[in-house]
């Protein structure tokens, strides 16, 4: 019985790791300087981004490009600067996390 409880606890912690890892990655890559999860700072909150792109099959590709190359106009005239320090894999991970909010 103790083994089963330990196994369930270990699996639960693994399931939670990607969410925390992505939040940590967003902090590490300076996303949180302009964005928050649940409110607008300079740019929109991640929950607002997820709501806007819900059901859009092309959203992930658009957002990966936006993270790496920047852009303006999707949320007003404040530009999002490019973030070339984010690799393709990191950008995809960040986008998956944002869209899951």
DSSP 8-45: HHHHHHHHHHHHHHHHHHHHHTTGGGTB-SSSBSSS--
pLDDT at 15: 44
pLDDT at 33: 96
Tens of pLDDT along the chain (101 residues) come to 444 343 334 444 444 445 667 999 999 999 999 999 999 999 999 999 999 999 999 999 999 999 999 999 999 999 999 999 999 999 999 999 999 99
Beta bridge partners of 72: none
Q: What is the CATH number of domain 18-99?
A: 1.10.760.10
Cβ–Cβ under 8 Å, residues 75 and 44: yes
pTM for the predicted model, two decimal places: 0.79
Please report, for the chain, the start and end positions of each structural domain, with discontinuous segments joined by +: 18-99
């Amino acid at each position: 019985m103790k083994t089963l409880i330990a196994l369930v606890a270990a699996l639960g912690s693994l399931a939670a790791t990607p969410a925390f890892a992505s939040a940590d990655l967003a902090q590490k890559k300076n996303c949180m300087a302009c964005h928050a999860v649940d409110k607008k700072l300079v740019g929109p909150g991640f929950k607002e981004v997820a709501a806007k792109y819900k059901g859009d099959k092309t959203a992930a590709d658009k957002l990966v490009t936006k993270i790496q190359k920047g852009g303006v106009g999707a949320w007003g005239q404040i530009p999002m600067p490019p973030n070339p320090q984010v690799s393709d894999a990191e950008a995809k991970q960040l986008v998956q996390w944002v869209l899951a909010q």
